[in-house]
Chain A
């Protein structure tokens, strides 16, 4: 069976054009070029139908950009995103089978629209429901995500953070998607509310046969929900593995460090042993393996040669030179 979503050697670069002074400097002979960020650098992976793939990494690693590429909100600079074998359109007028749920339940809802319009607009535009049926359709969706249908005429500011997250989910479900990209969808919520929304995600997956790309910096959440985990560092995939195997035996030194740093309830008054250094700027990533300045196992070749992502076990991929020994 071929994959539902196939990301093939996708890169996304963002460039900042030179400002007037920099242009002048270049005209006078200074070596100034456009500032380019390789947000996503030749990333390939598949997502099968009904799979939940977790995408983890720290800020600036390109996970959100990859999420936006996966649902067609960004066009890739290079490579192709295929959905059911067809290249994914980035045309805003076309109904997408992939919908996105955003991180900030405050910023992602239009404060001047009523819930009934926030949820009901897209299905009406795409002809999923007729104008006269919209309110029933919205009521049904609100019920489905655990909100009282009588809330439909209200505005977003009248809801708590958890309720707003549910509105965002109802909006995504309104166009009958097959695939949801959740970008830090529970990060802004309190623990008790987060648990409710995670349970909702699992229920919806069963009801609607959904496939998820679940982007999060919270490894606990990802471990709970995902079948497979993709770990990113500075625009590249460093490791990809079935969830339990990754958590039991992380292969890449970065995955190991990341898993070790996660605070856990069962580690009491532990002695914290930090990994050194900080995430380098994506504007000027280190050469070779991006992780080598912070890696405890770095060898001379790590600073010159980028390791390829290679299969190190069934379904397990890792990009590290150590695996060649």
Chain B
């Protein structure tokens, strides 16, 4: 196991879905790296390709969808084109995923104990009793009181927040190197979201697990992430240190997104909105995907911009905003 270099290196990832109206490039030319112990916030609106990026890493793209190009290097191991069996050994063991809806991840007709013990035994050759102890320990770590009793219960006996804790506990069973969390707090109330963020932050700090936090909510990643990647129409348009991206965005879309958050504006004042709506990925045409909605767009934007990186800051724009 190599300890140098990034834990995950995504380069030139392109994931496509054939549809009746043509091939839909849900993710195109996405490249980023995640280091051990790092929290990367993957931010975008619906249809930006953030979830498909997460699914691609885990090899969860169902046919006819496919990874059409690019490479996914996880700890020196190439995941694109890897045998299903070797991906299976990785999933749940070294890479874990937490989904938005914990009701979808948990099987409603199996007790929590069955589901957790099964997860342990899927990868480790151990006894049921040892597996049960690990389940109890994992539940304790995510702040579930009286874990031995809760273990015997079924998903419907848990509240939404508790279910998401169970889903996180399952993700933690094998102490993974990387956790991909896809909008795990979106369905939860603010006070419960605060609790989950607290647990996740503690776990990442204590265990050095890398975390990719996929969300539409800039305010959540502001409190959590080390680095932020902003996606638009399947591409990363801006990436950098969280504070840099939030304080001095360089892509007009990031700027627009930040201005759209009501809390950032003087109450009662008009929000500086982005005009129009997200384009259909089927009819993107050449050039910058954001140009129809952008105030800075001109003739040069008809040529596709490339993601340019200087000093750890990447921007995909012909006319980026100047740093103040």
Interfacial residues, chain A to chain B (CB-CB below 8 A):
58-59, 160-163, 190-196, 198-199, 202, 217-221, 223-225, 243-244, 257-258, 260-275, 278-279
* Shortest distance from the beta carbon of A261 to any chain B beta carbon, whole Å: 4
A191 to B225: give the CA distance in the assembly, Å: 19
A265 to B323: give the CA distance in the assembly, Å: 19
Interface centre among A160, A161, A190 (most CB of B within 10 A): A190
A260 to B226: give the CA distance in the assembly, Å: 21
Give chain B interface residues in 127-166, CB to chain A under 8 Å: 159, 161-162
Interfacial residues, chain B to chain A (CB-CB below 8 A):
45-46, 159, 161-162, 189-195, 197-198, 201, 216-220, 222-226, 242-243, 246, 256-265, 267-268, 270-275, 277-278
Instruction: Name the one of B223, B256, B257 contacting A263, with C-beta atoms under 8 angstroms.
Output: B223
Cβ–Cβ < 8 Å partners of B256 in chain A: 192
Instruction: Name the one of A192, A258, A266, A269 contacting B191, with C-beta atoms under 8 angstroms.
Output: A258
A261 to B191: give the CA distance in the assembly, Å: 6
Instruction: Name the one of B223, B257, B275 contacting A191, with C-beta atoms under 8 angstroms.
Output: B257
Cβ–Cβ < 8 Å partners of B274 in chain A: 192, 195-196
Cβ–Cβ < 8 Å partners of B218 in chain A: 191, 265
Question: Given A219-B190, A269-B242, list of 9 further CB < 8 A pairs?
Answer: A190-B45, A198-B262, A223-B263, A224-B265, A266-B264, A267-B222, A267-B223, A268-B222, A278-B192
Count of A-B residue pairs with CB < 8 Å: 143
Cβ–Cβ < 8 Å partners of A225 in chain B: 262, 267-268
Cβ–Cβ < 8 Å partners of A202 in chain B: 268, 270
Interface centre among A58, A163, A195, A243 (most CB of B within 10 A): A195
A199 to B246: give the CA distance in the assembly, Å: 23
Contact A58 B223 (CB under 8 A): no
Contact A58 B190 (CB under 8 A): yes
Interface centre among B189, B264, B278 (most CB of A within 10 A): B189
Cβ–Cβ < 8 Å partners of A278 in chain B: 159, 161-162, 191-192
A268 to B260: give the CA distance in the assembly, Å: 19
Contact B191 A220 (CB under 8 A): no
Instruction: Name the one of B193, B223, B262, B267 contacting A268, with C-beta atoms under 8 angstroms.
Output: B223
Instruction: Name the one of B194, B216, B268 contacting A274, with C-beta atoms under 8 angstroms.
Output: B194
Contact A195 B277 (CB under 8 A): no
Contact B263 A264 (CB under 8 A): yes
Cβ–Cβ < 8 Å partners of A257 in chain B: 191
List the B residue with the shortest CB-CB distance to A264.
B219
Instruction: Name the one of A196, A260, A265, A270 contacting B258, with C-beta atoms under 8 angstroms.
Output: A265
Cβ–Cβ < 8 Å partners of B243 in chain A: 268
List the B residue with the shortest CB-CB distance to A60.
B189
Q: Can you list 29 A-B contacts with CB-CB less than 8 angstroms, sorted by A residue number?
A: A59-B189, A160-B277, A160-B278, A191-B217, A191-B257, A192-B274, A193-B277, A195-B261, A195-B262, A199-B271, A202-B270, A217-B189, A218-B262, A219-B190, A221-B262, A224-B263, A224-B267, A262-B263, A263-B197, A263-B222, A264-B222, A265-B219, A265-B264, A267-B222, A269-B226, A272-B195, A274-B191, A274-B194, A275-B195
List the A residue with the shortest CB-CB distance to B243.
A268
* Shortest distance from the beta carbon of A226 to any chain B beta carbon, whole Å: 8
Instruction: Name the one of B46, B219, B262, B273 contacting A224, with C-beta atoms under 8 angstroms.
Output: B262
List the B residue with the shortest CB-CB distance to A244.
B267
Contact A220 B220 (CB under 8 A): no
List the A residue with the shortest CB-CB distance to B266.
A224
